Structure 1
Amino acid sequence: MITSINKEAYPNTLIVILGEDNGRSEFEEKSDVTRVTDKDGNLIGYNFFNVNEVLDYDKLPNGEVRLNDDELKALNKKLEEVGFEGNLEYGKPTLVYGYVKTCEPHPDSDHLHVTTVDVGGEEHQIVCGAPNIAQGQKVVVALPGTLMPNGQQIWPGSLRGVDSYGMICSARELGLSHAPQKRGIMVVPDNFEVGAEFEPTKCDELIASGEITL
């Protein structure tokens, strides 16, 4: 679940994204809530208008919003009041540490690689174009459902005909202030726990101290 606010473009509106928009969307409005479904009728999100009547809008950040329990409860109460069935629920972390188990050349590219990445109890195929990607690394993985700092949403896709489930991230893509200004994914120390949630402050401090070099 991605929750975000753009106070300049869409003031007083909370956008909740539950799935990828894979075509023409359908909209159903009830009071200050719009339910969004894809072309197959699958629920992919809600727009909460006049959200200041539900949440403390002034305290919400501009960008991604990490809801607390009370805020999530208030949104679900609003859905019930206007007549939409179902509850919003917290999802698992989508920015996590992963271990690159395999790394092979892409069959139709001279710079892409096809990797198998363990993200803690799950393994996913991810296509990566970073020049420093290699087997045996620990990396930061953006799984489907991630909202990146630049506003990019991560969903399953394919690169040059090969399926890719997420993205292996560079420090710049993660928005870290001490990110090196050169191409390459960020390789984290071997003692980082596979599957654990990405810690931006910790990683940025390690870059600044030289313990993470790319």
Structure 2
Amino acid sequence: MLITSYNPVALGDVLIMTTAQATASEQKAVRFGDLIQIQRRDNDQVVGYNLFNASKHLTALAGSGQVTLTEEQVAQINQLLSAAQQPATLKADRAPKFVIGHVLEMKAHPDSDHLQITQVDVGQEKPLQIVCGAPNIQAGQKVVVALVGAMMPSGKLIWPGKLRGVASFGMICSPRELALANAPARRGIMVLAHDAVVGQAFDFQGQYQFA
């Protein structure tokens, strides 16, 4: 997995690359010139890299927030890793992380009065199990799913997790969580038209109407 973000206005010319989950308190850093390797303190597992002066090292780096690197850019990063005598080889990940899902079924969470355990078709080989607490979730809906590896507009990363002991592999999103224009303040997931195509990348620039 390779999650990459770039925000030159807020953070300067730094590309942040995350490859595994770890909280800030669990991390330590090792520097190789402009390349900072992020490791877990407990076992030295590499969980990411920060690249300073990123635009000087990578061709055509642009964007703000989560960015998708090209094959060429990932190859340039791998050259930096090789020059630093680091064995890791990163792979480009260009698959969409916000996609259209179809809620196939849902059942009540055994340890909650408001959580639902859903099975959601996102166009993969098998449906994803996602725990959802939205009051308007229903089977049969077309919804927006943030897959594992997605970065929310807030900067939150989506990882596999558990909600009250039940595994969950993604998040069914609300308009506010997607930071859409005119998103209503009330709680509730975004429900799409029935003809929305399962597995298709969600269009953040689309024109959406909210009651």
- For Structure 1 versus Structure 2, the TM-score category normalised by the shorter chain is 0.7 to 0.9
Residues in 2 aligned to 1:69 and 1:175: alpha-carbon distance in whole angstroms: 29
Residues in 2 aligned to 1:177 and 1:69: alpha-carbon distance in whole angstroms: 32
Further displaced range: 8-17 or 137-146:
8-17
Compared CA separation, residues 71 and 36, structure 1 to 2 (3 A) = same
Aligned equivalent of 2:89, options 87, 90, 96: 87
- Structure 1 counterpart of 2:194, one-letter code: D
Gaps of 5+ in 2: none
Gaps of 5+ in 1: none
Provide the residue aligned with 2:17 in structure 1. 16
Residues in 2 aligned to 1:42 and 1:196: alpha-carbon distance in whole angstroms: 34
Contact kept, 8 Å, 1:102 with 1:135, in 2: the verdict is: yes
Compared CA separation, residues 164 and 170, structure 1 to 2 (3 A) = same
- Structure 2 counterpart of 1:127, one-letter code: V
Aligned equivalent of 1:49, options 38, 49, 52: 52
Further displaced range: 33-42 or 157-166:
33-42
Instruction: Count the aligned residue pairs.
Output: 206
Moved over 4 A (4+): none
| TM-score, scaled to structure 2 | 0.86
Q: CA deviation at 1:171?
A: 1.3
CA offset digits 1:52-90 (Å, max 9, x no partner): 321368x63332222234333322222222222233222
Q: CA deviation at 1:134?
A: 0.6
Contact kept, 8 Å, 1:19 with 1:145, in 2: the verdict is: no
Residues in 1 aligned to 2:90 and 2:43: alpha-carbon distance in whole angstroms: 20
Provide the residue aligned with 1:122 in structure 2. 126
SS of 1:72's equivalent? Answer: helix
- Aligned-pair Cα RMSD in Å: 2.2
Provide the residue aligned with 1:64 in structure 2. 66
CA offset digits 1:12-47 (Å, max 9, x no partner): 211101121167234332222122233444432111
Compared CA separation, residues 134 and 177, structure 1 to 2 (3 A) = same
Contact kept, 8 Å, 2:71 with 2:92, in 1: the verdict is: no
Percentage identity across paired residues of the two chains: 41
Does 1:136 find its partner at 2:137? Answer: no
